[in-house]
Amino acid sequence: MKIAVVILNWNGEVLLERYLPSVINYSPDADIYVADNASTDGSVALVKANYPTVKIIQNTENGGFAKGYNDAMVDVDADIYCLLNSDVEVTPNWLTPIIDAFATIPEAAIIQPKILDLLKKDHFEYAGAAGGFIDQLGYPFCRGRVFQTLEKDEGQYDDVREIFWATGACMFIKKEVFHELKGFDEDYFAHQEEVDLCWRAKNHGYKIFYVGSSSVYHLGGSTLSNMNPKKTYLNFRNTLFSITKNLPRRKAFIIIFLRLLLDGIAAIRFLFQLRFKHFFAIFRAHLSFYRQFRKMYKKREKTQFLRNYYATKSIVWSYFVHRISNFNILVKD
């Protein structure tokens, strides 16, 4: 089983210098690639000068996370792709449990390790935590992270479990699955594209797993922080894209209507918080969604749409009304 670790980079010279050594030191059996999205800093020169074993793929433009990986994977020869953010520090033997899981769970198409916070190592990190899920309205959340509340890692998620989506911060995916699904949807540019990819994989009958015996540390927010209105724009718009593409038609229209209402409430909340740029980010997200709705609708695949897709009915209601922020209380197995 040949594994390729592919790190997408855009002007991340500082991040590569800090975190690439851990990947090289702790991934002896993997080929390591840096896929560069037309950086203008010294990223490529740094890798060439200091890390001769790392293969470099130079994309011709910065097409964001989605197009960047799609372009890069054409040149990667492996059975398993590991898509790894440049701000991730890996741990000794991090690959072994993942390889074992692929070997012993043949139905596993995508796998995610435990994602911990690099700056607070005993807590889960926002982007992925202990595996991703969505509620009935398409809101993503994780074991170990509901909205902005992060749980402390006390071994409560040291298991192997089927999940709904795996984080793009560190995602392992079988080569044939990635290409069958035609990779990421490039219209997303960045954010939520991994949720869409996993949703499409589930609609195709594939399974996605979390393996808690493998862990990495993620800095997070190195490209766009949670406070950046562009991230708000992409998250709100791209979630609407995913609902349009991946739910049964009648269900999709109902959920879209409800999400547009709830998005409006979120926008008003930003307004009262005087976060005007985020208020307008939601407004722009909806305009972009309306403009591209027909295009997204045409992307709906002729497949068996998954009906039992959600882990709970509404995390918005549970979190903001009932004040539930712990996954094991929110979702009863």
Note whether 202 and 239 are same-domain residues. Answer: no
pLDDT at 221 over 90: no
Note whether 179 and 57 are same-domain residues. Answer: yes
Residue that finishes a domain, picked among 218, 245, 280? 218
The pLDDT value recorded for residue 115 is: 98
Residue that finishes a domain, picked among 166, 184, 218? 218
Mean pLDDT across 263-286: 96
Residue that finishes a domain, picked among 179, 198, 218? 218
Mean pLDDT across 300-307: 86
The pLDDT value recorded for residue 332 is: 79
Mean pLDDT across 54-59: 97
The pLDDT value recorded for residue 303 is: 81
Q: Are 155 and 116 in contact (CB under 8 A)?
A: no
Instruction: Give dist(CA 189, CA 258) in Å, integer.
Output: 25
pTM of the complete model = 0.95
Note whether 201 and 297 are same-domain residues. Answer: no
pLDDT at 156 over 90: yes
Note whether 134 and 275 are same-domain residues. Answer: no
The pLDDT value recorded for residue 304 is: 81
Note whether 211 and 235 are same-domain residues. Answer: no
* Tokens 């990986």 sit on residue: 69
b/e for 148-168, b at 16 or more Cβ within 10 A?
A: ebbbebeebbeebeebbbbbb
Kindly report the length of the chain: 333
Domains identified in the chain, total number? 2
pLDDT digits (tens, 9 = 90+) for 81-116: 999 999 999 999 999 999 999 999 999 999 999 999
Mean pLDDT across 310-314: 95
Confidence of residue 222 (pLDDT cuts 50, 70, 90): low
Note whether 243 and 99 are same-domain residues. Answer: no
Note whether 191 and 244 are same-domain residues. Answer: no
Asked if the structure places residue 223 within a domain, the reply is no
Asked if the structure places residue 224 within a domain, the reply is no
Note whether 7 and 100 are same-domain residues. Answer: yes
**Burial label, 202 (beta-carbon count in 10 A; 0-12, 13-18, 19+):** buried
pLDDT at 223 over 80: no
> What average pLDDT does the structure give for the chain?
95
pLDDT at 187 over 90: yes
Note whether 77 and 146 are same-domain residues. Answer: yes
The pLDDT value recorded for residue 7 is: 98
User: CB under 8 Å to 271, separation ≥6 — which residues?
Assistant: 279
Note whether 237 and 214 are same-domain residues. Answer: no
Asked if the structure places residue 170 within a domain, the reply is yes
Domain holding 286, by residue range, is: 229-330
Note whether 254 and 209 are same-domain residues. Answer: no
Note whether 125 and 197 are same-domain residues. Answer: yes
Q: What percent of the chain has pLDDT over 70?
A: 98
The pLDDT value recorded for residue 307 is: 85
Asked if the structure places residue 296 within a domain, the reply is yes
